[in-house]
Amino acid sequence: MANETWVMREIERRLRYLESLGLVSVGLHASTHVAGGTDPLILSQSQITNLVTDLAAKASTAVFTSVANGLAPLSGGGTTNFLRADGTWAAPGGGGGGSVTMYTTAVDFGSTGVRSKTFDAAVVGVTSGQKVVAQLSANMPAGVALDELEMDPIVVAAHATAVDTVRIIAASTGWLRGQRNINLLVSS
């Protein structure tokens, strides 16, 4: 019933809009029409009521198809299914994702300062081409203050280059010195 009420209100709103444009007039039907059909179509109140009732009935039952607009079918509840283009609800394909393992490795930029540096880290079990995401760790090595992390904007990237090896590329607009910890998130 709530859907039918909404449909009726929507049809009435649209009719009032068309009436405000002078395209439709709610009242008696014209006895003659202007050539070309540009005069307003006048609908009686009973015609509007019948139209609204008919459209509401169709809207409450018409499910969309590949060639016609309509409503989505009932979902059956839950949060795991999605609506397919053919109008059916289905579980996503793929059977779920894998897992991610995090490794933390310390890198040393040295004492003289550099703007970028490449490191090879030993990560047991990694294979060439495996997905790796690198991020600067908030866990600072011994002797490095956490506020130094805020002072040095460091961008890191990584990729698995060989069995048990991940290449880390780090760069900054400032000078990089000393040690930093890098988290490596490796998909499996």
pLDDT of residue 166: 92
Flag whether 95 is in a domain: no
Q: Decide if pLDDT at 31 tops 70.
A: no
The rounded mean pLDDT for the chain is 77
Task: Quote the tokens at residue 139.
Answer: 């866990």
Domains of the chain: total: 2
Q: Which range of residues forms the domain containing residue 144?
A: 100-187
Average pLDDT on 148-162 reads: 79
Threshold 0.95, pTM exceeds? no
pLDDT of residue 17: 74
Q: Decide if pLDDT at 47 tops 70.
A: yes
Average pLDDT on 45-61 reads: 72
Q: Decide if pLDDT at 143 tops 70.
A: no
Which of residues 57 and 153 earns the better pLDDT score? Answer: 153
Average pLDDT on 25-31 reads: 59
Provide the CA 8 distance to its chain's centre, in angstroms. Answer: 33
pLDDT of residue 142: 67
Average pLDDT on 110-129 reads: 88
Return left, alpha or beta for 121; rule: phi > 0 is left, psi -120 to 50 is alpha, else beta.
beta
pLDDT of residue 86: 81
- 73 plus 123 within the same structural domain: no
- 61 plus 120 within the same structural domain: no
Q: Decide if pLDDT at 92 tops 80.
A: no
- 68 plus 132 within the same structural domain: no
